[in-house]
Structure formats: structure tokens, C-alpha cells
Amino acid sequence: MRKSFFFFLILSISHLTFAQNLLYQVEINDHRAGSLKQSVEIDQNTHTFSSLDFQILTLNDTLQYFSEVHFVESDSGYLKSVEWTQVFKDTLNFTLTFSKDTLAYGPEKIRKLSIKRLDTIGASICYPTYSPELNQTIEVSRELVRFSIEKAQKLRVVKETIGAKSAINKFDNQFYLVESKSPSPFGEIRLIRTNKTAPPQFFEPNYFEQENILSNIRFPDPNGINTIKLKIEGVDSLSSATFKHYNQKITLRDSNTLILIVEQKKEPYLDSNTTNRSLSKLLWSGTKARVILDSLGIDTLQIHNKIERIKSFSKIQSHPNLALLELSSVAGIPARMVCGYVYNQWFWSPRNWVDIAINGYWENIDLTTEILPNSALRIAIHKSKSGGPFNDFVLKPIPKITSLQVQSFTLRGKKHAVSSQVLPYYFENPVYENEGLGIRMNIPDGFTITNDGTQSPSDLFLSLENDYKEKINCFQLSTSGQPLTTDLVRVKIQEFVGDKDINISQGKKFKFWYGHKGNRGAIVIPQGGSYILITITHEDPEFIILVLTRKNLTLKY
């Protein structure tokens, strides 16, 4: 179960005495993930404190875990009480106490037993102790499997087994833990005794710093893109196999660059005979996930309705995508986690999303963004296996890609080549050209570019201003799959102008709408699945509208 390995991890190192304080570095799959602190105080009874704190980072979700165990022993070495607190992003909080009559050896008694008995290879010991996970007494067996000489110190190598789980621990002559290795849902957890722990490796800026990558073009209709051809740089640490996904094809590869073609198509789901099981086991145990599903009442629903209800619940959780993955898997719906880059308004943003198998195909779902899914604009780098271990996906270091440049794209079946020009560029008069949007605009006299839209992902792609603080802002907005009607255009223009009664006019040179009142005006230009909104704040907005639309603005699409 999800919590059992945490207790097992804490239990395996809680054999200390005489006001001893120890500090351990926690590593998961050889990545620094956090620290464990342990101390023992001898007063009227023995008090043992264990505090485990670690963090795991995916491309978009941060998993934070904290656990604290407080053992109080009697003079005879039996546990008098146990308090156990576990916090996972403030979603779990437990405090457990058991009866004084429960027979279980405490940490100090276990240590004394270990020193007394584990002195020759093959020696073993079995003793009862208390499990905060199960709230009952359990049996622990230890076997001395060999000795190890490290740094001129002779260490005992002990195999410790609790139920079906086992770990390999190294102890010094005083039987203080030096190192521990144990399995977990994330991969191998390793504890290394140290004087000072280092911060989690996933949060060091020089190790893991995935940022938005500026694209060389801004797509006119992201949802209408069928195919893109990309030149990717900074992939020296990636193998070609990384990009071998159903809709991705490498056409050229050298030491640091590859040419990748990504298509808009669905990947068929091939049903296998393997049992689909929970991938993460991070948010809830399987039992709790089942209780949540029962409360959602999905058993009698069709698969689409099941998924919609699970999505609605998952959206309000701390980690929506992980909740969706967990609940879908427990509900018997094949699911997997994918991470990579997604196109987002002139930028490629690092993201993870969930693939859900629906009607024989994998469907992309990302509950952390409103960006419409288009498989042609999603570059998959890592993909977990449905029903497989989650750790391979979560803990692999994600290679840093430095550049994603579009060489060509296919829009609604028509191919468009992209040059390597730098935007904006200038002729004798200031000119702004956005090849991706297919726009060329002569900048009106007196105006200069204050923002070319490359500062951060946003609807704004161009901002102009003159010495009088008069402004022209250009936005690219999605129609959300709806046709751009005159009524919708009227609402957009009226919202900016601030008057519901103004007249909306339509252009003659090409299809566009405009309206103005006072010092405000707006132009709306349809562009496939998106539209361009130009807002104007000027002493004479009608004049600026005429300047922009008569001969100074040309559109390709």
C-alpha cells in the first residue's frame, strides 16, 4: 500500500540510543529527494523521533511528502505509545495511538536484540513491533547476510523483512544505521548517513530548470495544424528512441540537433492481458481511491460519463493530473502519464498530461490548462506504461531542450514554409511582419513597438505606443471551436469601447469588423480557429482604423 513503504523506511532506521542524533540524505533512484532526521532521548522512558521530508518534481506537478513518528517506550523496552503524522501536500494528516496493553518491542529494545544476536553471518532474529500503518503489532525478521569493509570500518549488512517487503541495511559496530536501500513505488530509496544534507536535486536551478522556449512563429490556428516540422537543438543527452512515439518521426539527426515531424493523429490503444493497476499510489491508497469512486457513483455510467465525472472531481485536487491518473486506473480505465512540450501562444511550454484510453484510442487530457489538445503540437519525451511502475516516468532527469524552431507546417491540408527571419524587421518605414500569423503591418507614424509578444505566453502579440501614450494592441484569441459570427464580434468590440449601442461596420478590402466611439476603437479579423483583435486608444481611433485597414495591413490566411 502507498503508506507502508514510508513506515518501513522509518522503522528500518529507528534503532538509536543515548541522546544520539543522526541525519540521512534520502535518495530515490540516485536523485537527492530530501532528508531524514532521527534522534533518541533517554529520560524516564526512551523517546525516539523520526522525521522524513522529501520532494519529487515532474514537469508540472510537485509532490511533497512529510512524515514524523514519535515512539515512547517503557523501561522494559515495549512501546508505550506511538504518534504518527503524515502530510502529503496537506491532503493527509494522521495521528495514531495504541493501547498500553499492546505487546511490541520499541526501537531501543530492537537495537539491543540486534546487537546481541546478529554477530555471525547467517544469524537471524525475529521480533514483534508496532506498525503505525496497520495500527497493530507486526513481525520483523533480520538476517546478517555479510560484512562490508568501507572507509576502514567493518559494517554489518543486514536483510530486514516486513511482510513481503525487504531492505538491505548497513550498521556500524554500535548498530547505528549507516546506509539503507529499500524498494518503493517510486523506485529504490536509499538513505546515506551524513553530517549535512543537500537540497533536493530536482529543485537545484543548475540541474532542473525547464523554461518556456520561444518559437520562431506564432501559429494562425493551433487547433487546425495537421503537421509540423521542427528543428530541435540541445538534445545531445537524448537518444533517438526518446522521440519514437506514434505521431513523431525523426528525419535527420546529428550530435546536438534533430529534425522532427509531428502529426495530428490518434494512437490506437492495444488492449493487453496484463492487469491495469494504479500507477502512482501517491495521493491515496487503492482503498481510499475506491471509496472516492463509489461516492462519485460511476459504476453504472458509460465510459465517457465516467471520465467526465472523474475529471470534475480531479480538477479541484492539489494535483489534478495525478488524481485523474490514479482514479482512472483504479476504475479500470487504462491511463498513463506523458511529459514533454506543448505549443502555447508563440512558446513551447514544458507540461505533463494524461492519456486515457477511450473507444480504442488514447485521448490527451490536461486538467491544469485550458489549451486545446492537438497532438501535432505536443512533443512527447517520456511516457509511462499503462499499469506499469510510475517511478521510471517521475524520476528520470528530463533533458533540457534549448531550441524548438518550426521549419514548416500544414494548416488544413496546405503546407506553409517558414523562413528564419527575425521578427520584427524594418524597411524604409517601420514594418511588423508575423509569418506564423500571416500578417504584415506598416506601423502608423509616431508609433513604436513596446512589446512584440515574446516576453511570455499570452494573447498579446504586438503592442504599439506613441509619445502621447496612445496605444495599439494586437491580440490573437481562440474561437473555442465556435464560428465567428457578427453577434460575437459585436460583443467583443462593444466590450472594449464600453457602449452596447454603437454601430459595427464591416470592411470591404477583406473580411473584418470594426467599431469606435470617443477615443476607443477595435478591429476584429477572423483567422480560421482564431481571430485577431486590434484595440486602439487614440484621439482619433477612426483614423487609425483607416490607416491600418486600407493598405497598411495584409493577411495571408
pLDDT by residue (tens digit) across 398-449?
Answer: 566 888 899 999 988 888 888 654 445 444 567 888 878 888 888 888 898 9
* Residues of the chain where predicted confidence (pLDDT) is lower than 50: 1-17, 59, 202-209, 273-280, 421-423, 425-427
Compute the Cα dihedral for 551, 553, 554, 557 and give only its sign: negative
Q: Which residue, 522, 531, 514, is CA-closest to 477?
A: 531
pLDDT of residue 31: 73
| pTM of the predicted model over 0.75 | no
Residues 344-383: tens digit of each pLDDT = 888 998 888 889 998 889 999 998 887 777 899 999 887 8
Can you read off the three cell numbers belonging to residue 111? 537495537
Residue with cell 472531481: 313
Q: What is the distance between the alpha carbons of residues 475 and 493, in angstroms, rounded to a whole number?
A: 13
pLDDT of residue 98: 66
Task: Confirm if 249 and 261 have CB atoms less than 8 A apart.
Answer: yes
The 3-state DSSP class for residue 402 equals coil
Can you read off the three cell numbers belonging to residue 395? 524520476
pLDDT of residue 271: 66
Q: What is the distance between the alpha carbons of residues 337 and 323, in angstroms, rounded to a whole number?
A: 11
Can you read off the three cell numbers belonging to residue 423? 521578427
Q: Which residue, 36, 39, 44, is CA-closest to 18?
A: 39
Can you read off the three cell numbers belonging to residue 124? 537471524
Q: What is the distance between the alpha carbons of residues 437 and 88, in angstroms, rounded to a whole number?
A: 44
* Side-chain-side CA neighbours of residue 528 (13 Å): 17
pLDDT of residue 10: 40
Q: What is the distance between the alpha carbons of residues 262 and 259, in angstroms, rounded to a whole number?
A: 10
Residue 49 amino acid letter: F
Task: Confirm if 222 and 343 have CB atoms less than 8 A apart.
Answer: yes
Task: Confirm if 528 and 557 have CB atoms less than 8 A apart.
Answer: yes
Q: Where are the alpha helices (DSSP H) in 297-405?
A: 303-314, 320-330, 391-394
Q: What is the distance between the alpha carbons of residues 443 and 429, in angstroms, rounded to a whole number?
A: 8
CA 364 to chain centre: 14
